[in-house]
Structure 1
Amino acid sequence: MSLFQFLKSKLFLKQLVIAVLSIAVLIFVMMKWLTMITNHNQKIEVPNLEKMSLEKVETKLQELDLNYVVVDSASYNPNYPKKSVIEQSPSVGDFVKENRKIYLTLNPSGYANVEIPDLYGKTKRQATSQLLAIGFKISPKAMYVSDIAKDVIRGLRFKGKELKAGDKIPKNSVINLKLGDGRGTGRYIQNMKREN
């Protein structure tokens, strides 16, 4: 039997129909299976989690069949509650499928502690610039002590306590400057340097 005769035979046509039907059924089953496991056309809108605590976030996301992962803590932001959500990804209003992870950035519980530099003997302007640059605030009420030099740093205070170089206090704290008044006959001595 030649190839041409075989292609025209009932046996070949029967096998061809069976093969085409098998492939069609396989494709149909695969598409249904893929639709089922990928939750095709399922949309869950990502809620606004901003300023929520982790407990509230967990409850909210469980209701929606979503998960979360804490990726980082940002710099402390006083406009947000402590340990609350500052940022989220995907964003509010995006559509996701169930069990999707929402990545969260949290607000720390407070400002990070920053080390006090050695400023003894520096001018008020130098010290103010340096303290502002590392994240502190300067009280407008400076304390003056009898000293030969005017507006030279002779100490720093925080909440009524004397600070030494190397002490650590929270960023964004208000520091009071202790300055020379320029009317003294000698230099004001205070141990502001770090003790070894």
Structure 2
Amino acid sequence: MSFFKFIFSKTFLLQIVLAIVVTIALIFGALQYLNITTNHGEFVTVPDLSKKSLREAKDLIDEAALRIEVLDSTEYDPKIPRFAVVQQEPRAGSDVKENRKIYVKINPSGYRKITIPQVVQKTKRNAEAILEAVGLKVGTVEYVDDIGKDMVLGVLHKGDTLQSGAQLQKTSVVDLICGNGINPDAPRYDQDIEVINDSIPTNDEGGE
């Protein structure tokens, strides 16, 4: 009976009420702290960094109370100034919290270098497809005497012979040397043959 008297006593009820008040106060305080530290409900608009230099982009980001981080450069775009912003995330116009990181990619100074693939002793058509697939352009095709018709014998760039494994900038133009199907070691005959016609003397003596 003494237990039931205690839980219904004023002292116990007062302790329960006090515990509830303290709990509510702690929850309210925690919510207020989170609201202050996370700037709850406060957003800033991400500026447009497209085609801006890295310095200009940093200035805009600082003014917006944001942070910037540069990712690995993307493929070179000749339509955009070198070292200018080509991509950003989040996108321009997005609403984000202050101090949010904005990730950007910068246009490199030029096309990246690519490795020349092995195309010697491949057919002209196959070699052209391989070279164009890696980002090179095929210019002129020179034919020389060789038994392998349309077989690639060499690759040139500005007159210099290239070996497989060498590097050139993407979109560079290379020239091909191919065989014309003629065996250079086969005997050759002149097409123009001088025909000597022996003149037949005529007998001018009068006959009977």
TM range (shorter): 0.7 to 0.9
From the superposition, tell whether residues 162 and 22 of structure 1 become closer, same or farther in structure 2 (CA, over 3 Å).
same
In the alignment, which residue of structure 2 is the partner of 1:158?
157
In the alignment, which residue of structure 2 is the partner of 1:168?
167
The amino acid across from 2:123 in the alignment is T
How many angstroms does 1:92 deviate by? 2.8
In the alignment, which residue of structure 1 is the partner of 2:199?
none
Contact 2:116/2:164, CA 8 A, preserved across alignment: yes
Contact 1:74/1:108, CA 8 A, preserved across alignment: yes
Paired positions, count: 186
SS at match of 1:142: strand
Distance 1:169 1:6 in 2: 91
Distance 1:159 1:81 in 2: 27
Question: CA RMSD, aligned part only?
Answer: 2.7
State how 1:140-155 maps to structure 2 within 5 Å.
141-145=140-144, 150-155=149-154
Contact 1:147/1:186, CA 8 A, preserved across alignment: no
In the alignment, which residue of structure 1 is the partner of 2:93?
93
How many angstroms does 1:169 deviate by? 0.6
SS at match of 1:156: strand
- Percent identical pairs in the alignment equals 41
Alignment gaps of 5+ in structure 1? 188-196
SS at match of 1:102: strand
Distance 1:49 1:186 in 2: 66
How many angstroms does 1:150 deviate by? 4.8
SS at match of 2:72: strand
State how 1:7-18 maps to structure 2 within 5 Å.
7-18=7-18
Alignment gaps of 5+ in structure 2? 187-208
Higher relative contact order (CA 8 A, sep 6+): 1
Distance 2:77 2:37 in 1: 41
